[in-house]
Amino acid sequence: MRFRIYRYDPEQDAKPRLQEYDIALDPHDRMLLDALIRLKSVDDSLSFRRSCREGVCGSDAMNINGRNGLACTTNLKTLAEPVELRPLPGLPVVRDLIVDMSQFFKQYHSIKPYLVNDEPPPERERLQSPGERERLDGLYECILCACCSTACPSFWWNPDKFVGPAGLLNAYRFIADSRDRDLNDRLDNLEDPYRLFRCHSIMNCVDVCPKGLNPTRAIGNIKTMIVKRAV
Amino acid sequence: MVSKLPVRRFDALIIGAGGAGMRASLQLAEAGLSVAVLSKVFPTRSHTVAAQGGIGASLGNMSEDHWLWHMYDTIKGSDWLGDQDAIEYMCKMAPQVVYELEHFGMPFDRNPDGTIYQRPFGGHSANFGEKAIQRACAAADRTGHAMLHTLYQRNVRARTQFFVEWMALDLIRDADGEVLGVTALEMETGDVMILEAKVTMFATGGAGRIFAASTNAFINTGDGLGMAARAGVPLQDMEFWQFHPTGVAGAGVLITEGVRGEGGILLNSQGERFMERYAPNLKDLASRDVVSRSMDQEIKEGRGCGPNRDYVLLKLDHLGPEVINKRLPSIREIAIKFANVDPIREPIPVVPTIHYMMGGIPTNVHGQVVLPQGSDPAAVLPGLYAVGECACVSVHGANRLGTNSLLDLLVFGRSAGNHVVGQNLTAQSHKPLPKDAGELSLARLARLDAATSGESVAQVASDLRKSMQSHCGVFRNQQLLAAGVQKVLELEARSQRTAISDRSRIFNTARVEALELDNLVETAKATIFSAEARRESRGAQARSDYPARDDANWLNHTLWYRDGNRLAYKPVNLKPMSVDSFPPKARTY
């Protein structure tokens, strides 16, 4: 199988280059990550992140034939050759397919990504009805892989100001939680021309999310709540 | 030598940011200690994220339950190798740590009355083995993901200081044996540093990557075990490795026991629900060692499925799309992606797959590392703690019950954190570093830097995994194990002659993998030497040449020392803290 992979080592390369690889795969090589590991056994300088290899840790997000996705859950059969692999767009490249995710996590941290409830907890669990709990479905499953935010033009232009789809999805995860007591502060924190309202519903995020989540809908819900609060 | 490496100082150092490390760091950060948490990956990428089924706790939300029943099930599951004081401690604490986690924001599934939903799980029973019970507190089939993210979020709130993509290399011990910190590699820059601390806590997780077919993530390379072994700390009960009954055949990806908890069943090539023969009472929900052996037996006797008759089928279509989509959505996703089957319509091909290491660094219930000294079989090693899968308290003994690993992380992460807080570290000063601090790590790195030719790390690691898989599998015997010992020793020698071609300092993953190989080798040696020496069958150690459990001679914990591959033994603690002992008896499900 043929690959064309973005290579850049700041210690040796003046600028990035695309390196061609042609490698015979094993019948057991099912996913793109299997192929990358086979390539690395031949060229150990090829650098990428990986861990769980089952789509739940979020390590191996990359740009695959022009589209963000996880290498470990991308079936090789779905890929046209040569398979072109690039780092996630819009973030500084550390090396090869490894990007610096500081900006992405900074935005995630900015939304107070934790439950706020200062009432003394009961001795047992706080009660939550199945219906209330269902409101968290499609939100809590985010794996922070950054496929969505780095597919978003608004995040490319303003990564320092726009929270981005992943951060906003997680913001709504806490807004939607019946146990959380921080609604007003959470909305205040987002009521800003950039932080929330840079989202123009382009929906690239929905298109690429490897977990099938819908950040655009979550963002729309937050916008509605802010508008409603104002009237 | 000391002056060669930069030094940074902390009160406490936690190596690993999975469930155990982050439950511990929460206690320390909230107490205002200066704590550094090191992790090879961003915290939410730690392998706790892959746990699926649930957290065991006798909340009694579904029907009457007691921690004593949970304790009995855990002891029986451990095949009586677990220490009963530690098991009592864990099962008693279980409801409290689950409620705390819920208060932190964990999105547990709910019952109509608003309480936490609990599902049945293997080996968990009501009234001392009478019938299956619903004890596993679940967030769909993403319990580990939900828990890891919740703990990370709570640590963000507590302003815990994380060192992300740092790999700890070696322990630093002084002449008295006290642990004073670690050497560590910052992956992005390639810088090596000494991180000095009054307390060092290992929370480095498992090492399933010593086997070829494993549910474990690539990062599970036994780094804490390797560091401990190289620093002269023994490893306990390393022969006991759990095969999870349901890994996707060929891919190794985990399919939670929660599938069987929700009503899924295992079938052989004749369409027979064979577990009814092996475990008439709990059937498909017998403990994991029993189910894995039964599956292997079916395959051996020619009743496996597929063109090579080398797997069995996990059938769940009878649960209906609603239950599957609500309770087991990720399983459906995994089956479609990795097995090409939609479990709503077709069964999933599964095989027993390496999943969990029951052994580890010996500790007490406070997470303090203990080792024999003089007449004391469990003297505290000053300065070192271990929690989670890398530790051996021992609550899992010879076989862990499903849901008890997440519980272990919460209970002992918390108790170790509290114990460290109780040390009043801020009032103490750092002890002087020994003159040779960092030398071992620098020598390991220097060897790699100097090696211009040699075998590839990937090749040696792959051969190691293949050897462990074929010599230390579900069924073991003397001949296999003795040959395995030789192979692993040869692989150890080969691992010292590897070379890498990547010369960059920046995010050099080839160098990281070479350093990980050293840890895999230590783990493999501990495993195969311990397994070879134990001449009985107990829990996950099944020997066809010694098919029976032998309490007269082997009701002991194994301790493996790297130096000369020496083995020592210490008695199992059969005495709980407050209740009567559960004496060993025949184990049937």
Q: Do A130 and B153 touch (CB under 8 A)?
A: no
- Are B25 and B17 in contact, with CB atoms under 8 Å apart? yes
Side chain identity at residue A172, one-letter code: Y
d(CA B235, CA B204): 14
- Are B188 and B432 in contact, with CB atoms under 8 Å apart? no
Q: Do A114 and B153 touch (CB under 8 A)?
A: yes
Provide the percentage of residues in chain B whose pLDDT is more than 70. Answer: 99
3-class secondary-structure state, position B278: helix
d(CA B29, CA B25): 6
Separation in Å, CA of A231 to nearest CA in chain B: 31
3-class secondary-structure state, position B157: helix
Mean pLDDT of all residues in A33-42: 97
Location of structure tokens 């095969």: B243
Location of structure tokens 């003046």: A14
Q: Residue A231: what pLDDT?
A: 83
Any CB–CB contact under 8 A between A106 and chain B? Answer: no
Q: Is the pLDDT of residue A222 over 60?
A: yes
Separation in Å, CA of B61 to nearest CA in chain A: 11
- Are B416 and B387 in contact, with CB atoms under 8 Å apart? yes
Q: Is the pLDDT of residue B1 over 60?
A: no
Angle between helices B19-30 and B143-157 (to 10 degrees): 20
- Are B62 and B121 in contact, with CB atoms under 8 Å apart? no
Q: Is the pLDDT of residue B3 over 90?
A: no
Q: How many Cβ pairs within 8 Å bridge chains A and B?
A: 154
Q: Is the pLDDT of residue B490 over 90?
A: yes
Q: Reduced to 3 DSSP states, what percent helix, strand and coil does chain A have, rounded to the nearest 5?
A: 35, 15, 50
Residue B288 bears catalytic tag: yes
Q: Which of residues 31-70 of A touch B (CB under 8 A)?
A: 40-41, 43-45, 47-59
Location of structure tokens 């130096």: B563
B41 sits in which H/E element: none
- Are B348 and B325 in contact, with CB atoms under 8 Å apart? no
Taken in order of first residue, the domains within chain A and their CATH numbers are 2-99 (3.10.20.30), 102-230 (1.10.1060.10)
B337-391 tens-digit pLDDT: 999 999 999 999 999 999 999 999 999 999 999 999 999 989 999 999 999 999 9
- Residue B125 corresponds to which tokens in the numbers above? 């029973």
B244 sits in which H/E element: strand B241-248
Q: Is the pLDDT of residue B103 over 70?
A: yes
Residue A31 is classified by DSSP as B
- Are B24 and B437 in contact, with CB atoms under 8 Å apart? no
d(CA B179, CA B177): 6
Any CB–CB contact under 8 A between A9 and chain B? Answer: yes
Average per-residue pLDDT in chain A?
Answer: 97
A48-83 tens-digit pLDDT: 999 999 999 999 999 999 999 999 999 999 999 999
B510-538 tens-digit pLDDT: 999 999 999 999 999 999 999 999 999 99
Q: Do B107 and A136 touch (CB under 8 A)?
A: yes
Mean pLDDT of all residues in B260-269: 97
Report phi then psi at B124, rounded to 5: -95, 130
Q: Do A56 and B105 touch (CB under 8 A)?
A: no
Any CB–CB contact under 8 A between A73 and chain B? Answer: yes
- Are B521 and B491 in contact, with CB atoms under 8 Å apart? yes
A179-208 tens-digit pLDDT: 999 999 999 999 999 999 999 999 999 999
B120-159 tens-digit pLDDT: 999 999 999 999 999 999 999 999 999 999 999 999 999 9
Any CB–CB contact under 8 A between B504 and chain A? Answer: yes
A177 sits in which H/E element: none
Q: Give Cα B207 distance to the centre of its chain.
A: 7
Q: Is the pLDDT of residue A230 over 90?
A: no
SS (H, E, C) B69-118: HHHHHHHHHCCCCCCHHHHHHHHHHHHHHHHHHHHHCCCCCECCCCCECE
d(CA B588, CA B431): 52
Mean pLDDT of all residues in B464-491: 97
Catalytic residue among B23, B209, B260, B288: B288
Average per-residue pLDDT in chain B?
Answer: 97
Q: CB-CB: which of B46, B105, B513 is closest to A177?
A: B105
B-interface mutation test, from A36, A57, A73, most B Cβ less than 10 A away: A57
Q: Residue B83: what pLDDT?
A: 98
Which ranges constitute the DSSP H helices of B364-435? Answer: 404-421
B290-325 tens-digit pLDDT: 999 999 999 999 999 999 999 999 999 999 999 999
Is the link from the previous residue into B362 a cis peptide, with omega within 30 of 0?
A: no
d(CA B246, CA B252): 9
- Are B572 and B80 in contact, with CB atoms under 8 Å apart? yes
Q: How many CB atoms lie within 10 A of CB B376?
A: 10
Side chain identity at residue B563, one-letter code: D
Confidence (pTM): 0.98
Chain A residues close to B102, C-beta within 8 Å: 125-126
Side chain identity at residue A180, one-letter code: D
